[in-house]
Copies of this chain bind each other. A is one copy, B any other.
């Protein structure tokens, strides 16, 4: 059994080697690829995704998993080996349901979809993106059908990101949250307490922003010997090896928050990846356990840490030394209040903590409607705008700031959005627990201590 286990691990590590190579192809597409290189890049991505699927559904892998699942290596379910067999088995049983051609089609559509999305968003042209979006959702429905589900099609997609969670459970959590958030936001609005945030819209030179982003992300624990920071269209984090985790952000010269909180968010993902067990790289004990947990780390560093008073007690002076002109008449208290201002807004990744989850709920509802066949993707801009009116009382001024703002659907990530809200909820619990275990975290932050 030991030799079968080693063989299974060897196969999994080889697949991980291809996956990390695929991650480089994708990272490069989003950060470095020459303008005309997109069509062939999609072919490379499709080919590698196909090779990965072939290996993940290799009958030999199935035999090994079958034999090992019934072996005494499973005696202690908390053991690394048992976890490895169980998780690889779970993955195998899902992957064998997916036809090779569907996997390749989804990979191709995702690569091309992202490229077209970049153009469509830049040109504020939903029609340009519409046929690709339609095709992506068609393929994702086919995927959900192939995987199968007990209750709803959407379950099969959600399970890819938050294993074991069901649509019904998640909907319940989000509904409860919404019932608390809506009156909270109304109360905040009625209070008339609206801190001045206008200085966040002054001129923040991109070079200085990048320096400050690097400074802060390194300080909170992102290791630049094992990672990079680059520029992209939509912030992301990607790992392409046990010592190679890359984050990417975008800069808005006249808005401080875009790059800074975006970088903290992605650095949170990166710190989590860099903290995984190196010796288990390519095996389940060396991998993230769910996207909700992953997002709990990004949202924790972005918000629970990055918008705290202690954080700015340490960082505000440093911000001033980077952006002297923009912050000359601002003090720490005003700055801390500004980055915590609550106000319904159009862009999810820049939303405050109170309204953020409403952005998620909107997406969660819309993607279910599309997957269930109750909403045509061509009608999405209208449905999007109408939900923003209902939940946030505002309407996008353009599709670029509306339905085209997020990269996810273009990349085939359907069922991903709710993990942000789960992440927010997990993050708060982790943070509170850490606070009671370690002591006054804000006190530590204020002296530049982020390691504990």
* Inter-subunit contact B34/A243 (CB<8 Å): yes
* Inter-subunit contact A21/B20 (CB<8 Å): no
* Inter-subunit contact B40/A243 (CB<8 Å): yes
* Inter-subunit contact A225/B35 (CB<8 Å): yes
Closest residue of chain B to A224 (Cβ to Cβ) is B34
- Across the interface, which residues of B come within 8 angstroms of A224, CB to CB? 34
Closest residue of chain B to A274 (Cβ to Cβ) is B36
**Given known contacts A44-B241, A241-B44, A25 and B21 CB-to-CB distance under 8 angstroms:** yes
* Inter-subunit contact B32/A228 (CB<8 Å): yes
* Inter-subunit contact A40/B228 (CB<8 Å): no
Which residues A221-240 have CB closer than 8 A to chain B? Answer: 223-228, 240
Closest residue of chain B to A226 (Cβ to Cβ) is B36
State whether the Cβ of A343 lies closer than 8 Å to any Cβ in chain B: no
Contact with B along A193-231 (1 / 0, CB 8 A): 000000000000000000000000000000111111000
State whether the Cβ of A48 lies closer than 8 Å to any Cβ in chain B: yes
State whether the Cβ of A14 lies closer than 8 Å to any Cβ in chain B: yes
Copies in the complex: 2
- Across the interface, which residues of B come within 8 angstroms of A246, CB to CB? 34
**Given known contacts A21-B48, A25-B24, A28-B28, A227 and B43 CB-to-CB distance under 8 angstroms:** no
Chain B's nearest CB lies how many Å from the CB of A57? Answer: 18
**Given known contacts A25-B24, A32-B228, A244 and B37 CB-to-CB distance under 8 angstroms:** yes
State whether the Cβ of A396 lies closer than 8 Å to any Cβ in chain B: no
Cα A17 to Cα B43 with chains together (Å):
8
- Across the interface, which residues of B come within 8 angstroms of A32, CB to CB? 32, 228
Cα A25 to Cα B47 with chains together (Å):
16
State whether the Cβ of A39 lies closer than 8 Å to any Cβ in chain B: yes
Contact with B along A233-265 (1 / 0, CB 8 A): 000000011111010000000000000000000
Closest residue of chain B to A242 (Cβ to Cβ) is B40
CB within 8 Å of B: which residues of A?
14, 17-18, 20-21, 24-25, 28, 32-37, 39-41, 43-44, 47-48, 223-228, 240-244, 246, 281
List 17 interface pairs A-B (beta carbons < 8 Å), by A numbering: A17-B43, A20-B40, A20-B44, A21-B25, A21-B48, A24-B28, A32-B32, A34-B224, A34-B226, A34-B227, A34-B244, A36-B226, A37-B241, A37-B243, A40-B241, A40-B244, A40-B281
